[in-house]
Structure 1
Amino acid sequence: MWDPDKYLAFDDLRARPFFDLVNRVGASKPRRVADLGCGPGNLTVTLRERWAGAVVEAFDSSPEMVAAAREHGIDATVADVRDWQPAPDTDVVVTNAVLQWVPDHLALLPGWIAALPPGAWFALQVPGNFDAPSHLAIRELVASETWRGRLGSVALVHRESVPDPAGYAAVLTAAGCRVDAWETTYLQPLTGADPVLEWVTGTALRPVRDALDESDWQDFRADLAPLLRAAYPEQADGTTWLPFRRVFAVAHKQP
């Protein structure tokens, strides 16, 4: 269960990879633009503004996120990305911070590319920070004696689910695309009480939140907070710096 308000608490910082991604898409007048995993729709709005003549297709697996997207004026629907197939006029596909939740998503890419028309663009961005101190702390706490009985079956995202840029480039090139793939580590300036905890609450901790009742959830947060404060100390000016690695690939299907 996603919380759009929690996710949007850092919307300006979370948006940076999205804009770096779509800025590499060279489509001028696409007929249809698909946003796979549109979230609360605040970024889908920018796709509609950039390509005003296109049909914008948007969906998300979370009913809460879809409701938020509709409040932004996006005609979003609830759907699973694994079931999606491109319409014949789909000239641009954007999927931003979604595919890491689909462990077998590399197997989906060739079929999607094959179904796109010649000249179409496919742009993806996924987190690559699964070995970061924040994620290591979450996994260690989930596996601890205190929590493994309640959280042992929680499906956290692991590094093995997301290849490096070369891995995406290999798959998309084999599918008949010219590929631009890269990675970027952003240094996010966070402020406030336990800002890294609040940051991961909106994303990485979602499976944990879903598995716990309110009382246990607050206890888990209380156990995690000092681990994150130690890993990401607050600076003298009140800033907490969070390294934030992302992996990108933009594929242009050749004729």
Structure 2
Amino acid sequence: MWNPSQYLQYADHRHRPFVDLVARVDLDAPRRIVDLGCGPGNSTRLLSDRWPDAALDALDSSAEMVSAARRNGLAAEQGDVRDWTPAEDTDVVVSNALLQWVPEHRELLAAWARALPRGAVIAVQMPGNFGAPSHRALREVAGSAPWVDRLPVGLLRHDDAVDDPSDYATLLAAHGCAVDAWETTYVHRLTGTDPVLDWMRGTALTPVFDALDDDGQRAFEAELAARLREAYPAGPDGVTLFPFRRVFCVATVGAASGATDLAG
């Protein structure tokens, strides 16, 4: 179960990659825009602000997130991205911080490139930080006693959850797309007690919490918090620096000119 309030605790930090992603979509008047994994809808509003005349669809698998998005004025629907297919007039597909949860997302990207009309744009952003100290610490705690016997096998993601930008450029270029792919490491300045743990409560810890009762959640958090404080110590000013790598890909369907654009 997703907690929109917890997720939005760092809304400004989480919104910035969405802004950077959508800024690279070079279309003036798309007919229909789809936000796959819309979450609570706070970022989705950027799409309607930029293209007010376009039809806007929003989808999320979480009932809690869909309810929050509807409170934000979106006609959001609950559904699995693996079951989604584009309507004939879909000109922009945005997926921000969703596909890292979907092991078969590479096949989905290829299927969208085949199904969308020529000139449509697929804009995707995924966290690429699964080798970071935060996720290594999470896996280490989950793999230790007593948690290894209490958490399902395969619950947590590893480095191979998301590929490098060049891999997505190669994949989508093979399906006739002109591709702009890049990565960015944001250095977030976080304050408060255990801010990296607070960040992870809104995302990476969600499947762990789903598998544990309240006492188990508190005990797991206590172990993880100690490791995170060591990996991400607060500075003299009380600010914790949290580097966060993200992978971006913007692909224009049917526009390949024989080369991909890899932005550094």
Q: How does 1:43-122 map to 2 (within 5 A)?
A: 43-122=43-122
| 1:114-143 C-alpha deviation (Å, 9 max, x unpaired) | 111111010000000001000000000000
Aligned to 2:7: 7
8 A contact 1:155–1:207 mirrored in 2: yes
Q: How does 1:1-255 map to 2 (within 5 A)?
A: 1-153=1-153, 155-254=155-254
Residue 87 of structure 1 and its aligned partner are, at CA, apart by: 0.3
Q: How many residue pairs get matched? A: 255
Distance 1:157 1:2 in 2: 17
* SS across alignment from 2:57: strand
Distance 1:72 1:213 in 2: 31
Distance 2:231 2:115 in 1: 45
Structure 1 residue ranges (4+ consecutive) displaced by more than 4 angstroms after TM superposition: none
8 A contact 2:130–2:161 mirrored in 1: no
Amino acid at match of 1:23: A
Distance 1:12 1:167 in 2: 29
Amino acid at match of 2:19: F
Among all aligned residue pairs of Structure 1 and Structure 2, give the percentage whose two residues are the same amino acid.
Answer: 57
* SS across alignment from 2:150: helix
| 1:222-254 C-alpha deviation (Å, 9 max, x unpaired) | 111110000000000010000000000000112
Distance 1:191 1:18 in 2: 22
Aligned to 2:261: none
Residue 154 of structure 1 and its aligned partner are, at CA, apart by: 5.2
Query: TM-score, normalising length from structure 2?
Result: 0.95
8 A contact 1:90–1:120 mirrored in 2: yes
Gap runs ≥5 in structure 1: none
Residue 153 of structure 1 and its aligned partner are, at CA, apart by: 2.5
Residue 152 of structure 1 and its aligned partner are, at CA, apart by: 4.0
Distance 2:138 2:44 in 1: 30
Query: TM-score, normalising length from structure 1?
Result: 0.98
Distance 2:106 2:152 in 1: 26
8 A contact 1:190–1:239 mirrored in 2: yes
Compare 145-154 and 103-112 and name the one that shifted more: 145-154
* SS across alignment from 2:242: strand
Amino acid at match of 2:105: H
Residue 52 of structure 1 and its aligned partner are, at CA, apart by: 0.3
What is the Cα-based RMSD across aligned positions, in Å? Answer: 0.8
Residue 61 of structure 1 and its aligned partner are, at CA, apart by: 0.3
